């Protein structure tokens, strides 16, 4: 039996590394990768699977609605928002809030995501910083996918997204996480859909076991444990 996973893009790198080994562990899997917001829209429109990996807040909301099974949630990893540039490009200053603000104002172009948790956070951040008009005037806001692809192609100078999502794309360099005052920690959580196939619980445990601190670090993520 094939187990269907609906997963946030934030853990795409880890799943692409781990799931090829799932067959040897006795699991057949099918994965849909999308930003959490788009997955939630699909779920609320009736999409179902066996296992969901979403932000902790989205898992809690879908559990309260009975879509995800109560008592099955497992926190898998922590993720922070970062900034990337095309490989070989100078690394701008993001060491402090003031430096990051100046970098955003000086950049000729940048990209962030409309639907992802990082993009929603960044849109609110530049509003709070009072520079939304200036930044959005030169921003490419993608509906979904990886902002780093635009930086790798030279279409924008800066790409902003979860560090794990930036790191999944070749041809860019990660400048680093945004400064603490300008960042947020996303907790990515796995949970079973109500009525999931019996093997789904074992698959979730297996995925959690694969997410070792070393693997998470290599993917730009951090262990919750």
> Looking at the domain assignment, is residue 158 inside a domain?
yes
Taking CA atoms, 117 is separated from 81, 122, 175, in Å, by 9, 9, 20
164 and 132 within one domain: yes
Say yes or no: 167 and 177 in one domain: yes
Tell me: do 53 and 95 sit in the same domain: no
Q: In angstroms, rounded to a whole number, what is the distance separating the alpha carbons of residues 59 and 93?
A: 35
Indicate whether 54 and 89 sit together in one domain: no
Q: Domain containing 209 — which CATH number? A: 3.40.190.10
The structure's pTM equals 0.84
C-beta of residue 80 within 8 angstroms of C-beta of residue 182: no
102 and 25 part of one domain: no
Question: Judging by DSSP bridges, how do beta strands 185-192 and 110-113 pair with one another?
Answer: unpaired
171 and 87 both lie in a single domain: yes
Number of domains into which the chain is organized:
2
**Within a domain: residue 225?**
no
E strand residue ranges, the chain: 2-8, 28-34, 51-55, 74-86, 110-113, 139-142, 158-162, 172-177, 185-192
Give residue 40's region: left, alpha or beta (phi > 0; psi -120 to 50).
Answer: alpha
Q: Can you name the residues that pair with 51 across neighbouring β-strands?
A: 5, 192
pLDDT by position in tens, the chain (length 225)? 899 999 998 899 899 999 999 999 999 999 999 988 899 999 999 999 999 999 999 999 999 999 999 999 999 999 999 999 999 999 999 999 999 999 999 999 999 998 778 888 999 999 999 999 999 999 999 988 899 999 999 999 999 999 999 998 999 999 999 999 999 999 999 999 999 999 999 999 999 999 999 999 989 999 987
Asked if 120 and 35 sit in the same domain, the reply is: no
Task: Assess whether 69 and 113 both reside in one domain.
Answer: no
Together in a domain, 87 and 114: yes
Kindly state whether residues 61 and 147 are assigned to the same domain: no
**pLDDT tens digits, one per residue of 113-147:** 987 788 889 999 999 999 999 999 999 999 888 99
Structural domain includes residue 223: no
Nearest to 106 by CA among 92, 88, 91, 95: 92
Task: Give 164's contacts (C-beta < 8 A, 6+ positions apart).
Answer: 10, 11, 12, 13, 14, 79, 219, 220, 221
Residue at 224 is within a domain: no
Residue 87 lies in a domain: yes
Domain span at residue 143 reads 79-182
Q: Are residues 6 and 66 in the same domain?
A: yes
Q: Does the residue 41 lie in any domain?
A: yes
Residue 18 lies in a domain: yes
Q: 63 and 86: one domain?
A: no
Q: Tokens for 78?
A: 């922590």
Distance separating alpha carbons of residues 91 and 215, to the nearest angstrom:
25
């Amino acid at each position: 039996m094939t187990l269907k996973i609906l997963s946030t893009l934030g853990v795409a790198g880890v799943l692409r590394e781990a799931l090829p080994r799932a067959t040897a562990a006795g699991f057949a899997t099918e994965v849909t990768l999308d930003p959490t917001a788009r997955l939630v829209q699909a779920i609320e429109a009736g999409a179902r699977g066996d296992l969901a990996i979403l932000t902790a807040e989205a898992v809690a909301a879908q559990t309260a609605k009975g879509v995800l099974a109560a008592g099955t949630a497992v926190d898998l990893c922590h993720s922070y928002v970062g900034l990337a540039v095309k490989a070989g490009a100078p690394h701008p200053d993001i060491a402090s809030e003031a430096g990051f603000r100046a970098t955003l104002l000086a950049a000729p172009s940048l990209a962030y995501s409309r639907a992802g948790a990082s993009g929603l956070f960044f849109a609110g951040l530049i509003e709070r910083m009072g520079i939304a008009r200036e930044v959005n005037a030169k921003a490419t806001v993608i509906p979904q996918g990886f902002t780093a692809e635009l930086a790798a192609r030279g279409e924008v100078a800066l790409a902003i997204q979860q560090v794990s999502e930036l790191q999944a794309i070749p041809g860019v360099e990660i400048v680093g996480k945004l400064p603490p005052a300008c960042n947020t920690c996303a907790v990515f959580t796995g949970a079973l859909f109500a009525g999931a196939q019996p093997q789904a619980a074992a698959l979730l445990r297996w995925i959690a076991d694969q997410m070792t601190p070393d693997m998470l670090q290599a993917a730009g993520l951090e262990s919750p444990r």
